[in-house]
Structure 1
Amino acid sequence: MSSPPPTPATEPGAGEKRKGFFRRLRERLNKGDSWLTYDLAHLLPGGKVGEEFIEEMETRLLTGDVGVDATQQIVDGLERKLWRDELGDSRAVLATIRDSMLGILGPCEQPLRIPDDVRPFVILVVGVNGSGKTTTIGKIAHRLKSDGLSVMLAAGDTFRAAAVEQLQAWGQRNNVPVIAQGTGADPAAVAYDAFEAARARGVDVLLADTAGRLHTQENLMDELRKVKRVLTRLDPAAPHEVLLVLDGGSGQNALLQARRFNEAIGLTGVAITKLDGTAKGGVVLAVARELQLPVRFIGIGEAIEDLAPFEAGPFVDALLGAPGERAPR
């Protein structure tokens, strides 16, 4: 007998909410202006596309945190069309850029899914200090509960008392239990206790927080490896998801973090937060192009509805959108 499909970590009936989310994303990215195409008409005097224009696009992509590899892929697409005399106007330019971006991001549009036959499903959440890790855990817990799943939180950031308190506050807000120990406790012991408690109580999903750490701190990376080993001893498949939370405003440093965390413990997905304010959003392309990891969620603010599953098409439209210039669908 075939098993039922896994449960997507999305709120039911959320079509209108998704539209609202990506509309807010477009408004908030770089304060509403498209850093790539905001003055496209002025860059194409007489509508003519040439090498100078492509060089300008290359500069904007690089300064927009898109990264060298992703920028090269997009520029190559423009140059191929230019050689074929297929860049006749701004709409052709936008369509070409959009296609290239979708080619990079499309394979990474993979929502987090919770299989029905894995209990507890363990999500280990990692990242540097200030990336929005604990807040992201609280928002994911809210989404999972909205899907009818039972959730438990593990306060594995034992170095900051405030981190435990923050996670406990999210637990109270979502009405989910939080397993915690005292400040300075062994994070692996917290993970062990939380897993055993989740299994004993028949909890569907265990979300495990970890202490924020710089990707250059090898001793703390060893600690993460220990947490992962402990979970694997309890369930050979655990953790079932290793989710890296990245600050979308941290530029190319986010790519360095993603690379290092992936090398250290093996990531299965990323969540990119804080894509509001001054963040350009290009780092999503950089991470997707180099690591080809699923982008599970993106966040655009502090409110609980400001975290949503990543969708490549609306995200690219938000990057390219500008008054009077919209990529054709």
Structure 2
Amino acid sequence: MRWLEEGCLELLDQTKLPLKVTYLKCRDYLDVAAAIKRLAVRGAPAIGTAAAYGLTLGAMNLKTRQKEEFLSGVKAIASELSATRPTAVNLRWALDRMIKKLHIDDNEDVNSLRTVLLEEANLIYQEDIETNRKIGKHGQALIPNGSRVLTHCNAGALATAGYGTALGVIRAAREAGKNISVIADETRPLLQGARLTAWEMLREHIPVTLITDNMAGYLMATQKVDLIIVGADRITANGDVANKIGTYSLAVLAKAHNLPFYVAAPLSTIDMSLASGAEIPIEERDHTEITHLDGKSVAPPGVKAWNPAFDVTPNHLVTAIITERGVIYPAYLDNLDKIINH
């Protein structure tokens, strides 16, 4: 994504990948909200950054010169953006940060406050890239030379402002000169692994093999994978992890085969207000994502379908959480608190 001088947010439409590289120009917060909702932009850090720019667009289009009326309008827009996807905490985190920035600014001039919002959105964007590089630096030390790394969904540059979390660790390992390869789960039902992760890896000449989700167990049993690394959409105070549906199954399989299961995520993904994963709101999406493929029905008409976008991996299945401040090991309840609050 990038902010254009003409006053709009340009987003790569991820729903078109890998067959088409198409960019959307969002000129209003409703355009950004729609892009987040339909997954044109996706991944917890990316939607947080996009929402920050979306709030800026909304503020620019508010027709008022009164500060209190302006603040009220900005809060209403933030509420709409926050409701687009309930599971990824980065969305709310970014919007809360933007609103807080307005409240600590004493300026009464509304145009100046619009500039404040744009500057803060730019800062969130820049910080995310820097954060991802730090995650990569810490995480690559956990990947031995010659490793075959299994990943799920897409936690790369496409899911962030740039570089990536889980794929950022893989990139950093390659940059450190390690000879590693990637195994990408296709990630049903929307195929983010097949469409996005494989696309990113091929573009960067990192060896990648695509598998269907139900092949992962056999892959581990035949000793063709060395470790698993995934991203996260929310991590609770006890270290439970919400991530793309199918992550929990991988973690169970990793435990059964004595393989490390790592989670790479920025501190902004850690939600200390929730005690455990049982409190995480899990987004449920339209059933047609399961019953249809490329607009064509692949299931009998009238069949019921259940389509949660995420699942929760309990902390005892997570080997370590990789953040920009270092690698966090169990006991997560204590160690997450230390890294967040100290």
TM, length-normalised to structure 2: 0.41
More helix by share: 1
More strand by share: 2
Higher radius of gyration, 1 or 2: 1
TM, length-normalised to structure 1: 0.42
Q: Higher RCO, 1 or 2 (CA under 8 Å, sep at least 6)? A: 1
